[in-house]
Structure 1
Amino acid sequence: MPTRLHFDETDYLNCRFAHSALWETQAAAHVLNRPDRQAYQRPWLRRTHRQAAAMDLTPLRLLMPQRGPTPGWLCPPPAAPAATFEEEIAQVRATDPLFAREETLRSLQAAPRALAAARDRGWLRDPAVMLREVSDVLEQIWTRLVQPEWPRMRALLEADITFRTRRLAEHGLGELLPEISPLCTWRAGTLTVRDHTDHERHLGGRGLVLMPSVFIWPHVIGTFKAPWQPALVYPTRGIVDLWTEPVAPTGITLTRLLGRGRAAILASLVVPATTTGLARQLDLAPSSVSSHLTVLREAGLLSARRQGRQVLYERTGLGDALAAGG
């Protein structure tokens, strides 16, 4: 069954990219629900197994039925290109309880057991309790399981957005959207997404939020209902190498050439990263990392680009060749 989204001229002007810490947090809960289907995330699952096993995720899982959609209030599309988790969870906590109740009822219509459990918890009598309990679980998942990995995840998401923005400028929306996923096709101003819903919508000038995600592969998910701007969430590029740790010790030749610190940084930049992210990953002082990055950049092994308030470093072609040889 397909979802069809019809664009008019105004919609082309209102398409934008964003990434969402809140989305990745609730998507991480989906991965924990079905770990057998997440080959790319196995290193992360192994790394977080103890913390996840100690958490009670029941309130959140009730709103993630295998049949039927997740309520829209649980993870609305971000209003800003790179909103913080704190900003996004505050929006969830501020949801009108009556609106949350109606959205939840619609979502759980095809999941009678989850609906019965929601009634047993008193959520439908007092949806404010539901908002508080679910928001608390989301904060726990973020703090314990996602936030420690967020610097490398965010770097990967931002690199995808940079790449897609360049492709959009070079080839236009009609060629970009089918590149995002084989589940997407484009014809005469209509985006068709092959998914498990049968939905059709004229965007009516609101455009589309395009959101890369670490945890969504191999699916594409659309959040299309009012009052939010329609959004399309798709797998980010580069997830194969996301959880790959740098080899330690770094290759002997590379270490002799660059020194241990610079060699470790060059090897670690499988995906773009910030100074702070590299310092955390390699357990080095940020000042040392900054000094090494300057030398590597001046040697033509790295390039730097500004993304919002941050500077992302990535290997040049020469840096890739040297890292591979090392």
Structure 2
Amino acid sequence: MLRVHCTVDDLLRVTVADRPAPLVELGLAFEMLQRRDPHPVFRPWRQRVARTLPRPARPVLQLVSPLGAGPLFLDPPSPDLEEGMDQIFSTPAPQVGTELRRMCAIDRPLTPWVRQLADHDREAWQVLGTAVRAAHSSVIAEAWPRILAGFHAETAWRSRILAQQGLRAALTGLAPSTRWRGTTLEAEFPRDLDLTLSGRGIILRPSLFWADHLLVAPQPDGRLLLIYPALTPLPLRDTSPSGDPLTALVGSTRAQALRLLVQQHTTTDLARELAVSPAAASMQTKILREAGLIVSQRDGKAVWHWCTPLGLDLLAHGGTAARRDGAY
């Protein structure tokens, strides 16, 4: 269980990151790559990346965990790759050692190369620099335009929730099972972790590569970086029509699903209409439901889904909706 104990000043200083950070997304991509859960959206992406990942990039796998953890020096939240690389290589040696010991205590093996990194061996750090650049080139660089579009769509959506429904709704909607107890934010987490903030605030940063529990990273300036899964992960973001802001916001598959659900559909019906598997259709409805855009109701073995007023409002204001069978 994660518990973030906030002061009033922290809650008054909640902000949303304005730009994605390539090295943050890279670390999360490598963490998601190592997961073994049968995620219907990320499983094909994992298989493709695992096949194409160049050998020089593979040392990064020794440093990041599928639990969503990595050494803090490896993913500085800089919006610029070169600036981020400079920050990695300027990390003080004591901090490097502390972070590597922390990762090995979680689930990373203490390999000879990791030992050499901790000892600040020059050749080991050259291998690290090559690995990070190769990983970025293979996983992030080509996808960067989609990452940018998805990030800005997500932060616009989160800001709308914050403006219309308030801070409580904006934060509890970041991930399932997130709740408030007084001024303490609680969420599911792989281990017990209590963080006490000091009034410097919280930064919300969505990730298009992460699809699990909230992630936290205390920053040098005292703020807390709170990373959460974006509504539309990268594998569901494709090139979208420029005249369709709804597709730009939630991705083409989910936009199509939302438009279909102005009329009631079962999960099986929706899978057939979207030409996806029932598991993938169920994942779409789960995310739409958690965002408050649809509701679901079980009837025997079938589960029926349809739009909420918020979902209809998004359709009405999100661009020209495709009409089908007399509906949107």
TM-score, normalized by length of structure 2? 0.68
Give the aligned partner of residue 40 of structure 1: 41
The answer for the alignment partner of 1:16 in structure 2 is 15
SS of the residue 1:114 aligns to: coil
Please point out which of 96, 102, 107 is paired with 1:106. 102
Q: Quick one: distance in 1 between partners of 2:58 and 2:239?
A: 32
- Report what 2:203 is aligned to: 209
Whether 2:116 is the aligned partner of 1:115: answer: no
Is it true that 1:183 corresponds to 2:183 in the alignment? no
Out of 95, 100, 103, the position equivalent to 2:91 is 95
1:234 Cα deviation after fit: 0.8
Structure 1 contact 8–203 (Cα < 8 Å) conserved: yes
SS class of match (2:143): helix
> Please, which of 157, 168, 171 is the counterpart of residue 163 of structure 1?
157
Residues 31-86 of structure 1, C-alpha deviation per residue, up to 9 Å, x if partnerless?
3323654431345446545531x32444212212457942211124x26xxx2233
Change (3 A) 1:175 1:51: same
Q: Report the alpha carbon displacement of residue 268 of structure 1 after superposing the two structures with TM.
A: 9.8
User: d(CA) in 2 for partners of 1:315 and 1:138?
Assistant: 43
Question: 1:307: which partner in 2?
Answer: none
Further displaced range: 194-203 or 129-138: 129-138
1:187 aligned partner, one-letter code? R
Letter in 2 for 1:22: L
Output the CA distance in 1 between the equivalents of 2:25 and 2:103. Answer: 20
Corresponding pairs, count: 261
The aligned amino acid for 2:83 is E
What is the CA-CA distance between 1:125 and the residue it aligns to?
2.6
Work out which of the residue numbers 133, 145, 170 in structure 1 matches 2:139: 145
Q: Secondary structure, in 3 states, of the residue corresponding to 2:137? A: helix
* Aligned: 1:229 with 2:223: yes
SS in 1 for 2:41: helix
Q: Which residue identity is paired with 2:167? A: L
Match of 1:4 in 2: 3
- Aligned partners of 2:244 and 2:50: how far apart in 1? 27
2:167 aligns to what? 173
* Identical aligned residues as a percent: 25
Q: What is residue 55 of structure 1 aligned with on the other side?
A: 55
Q: CA RMSD in A?
A: 3.4
Q: How far apart, CA to CA, are the structure 2 residues paired with 1:134 and 1:240?
A: 26
Question: Deviation at 1:209?
Answer: 1.4
Q: Secondary structure at the match of 1:319?
A: coil
Tell me whether 1:319 sits opposite 2:292 in the alignment.
no
CA shift, 1:243, in A, is 3.8
**With structure 1 as the length reference, what TM-score do the two structures score?**
0.68
Secondary structure at the aligned position of 1:181 is classed as coil
The 1:49–1:123 alpha-carbon spacing in structure 2 relative to 1, beyond 3 Å, is closer
Residue deviations 1:83-106, cap 9 Å, x none? 223322322122113321222112
Match of 1:75 in 2: 75
Q: Gaps spanning 5+ residues in structure 2: where? A: 251-314
Counterpart Cα distance in 1 of 2:121 and 2:223: 24
Query: 1:161–1:66: structure 2 CA closer, same or farther, 3 Å change rule?
Result: closer
Quick check: 1:16–1:208 contact (8 Å CA) kept in 2?
yes
Distance between the aligned counterparts of 1:147 and 1:165, measured in 2?
27
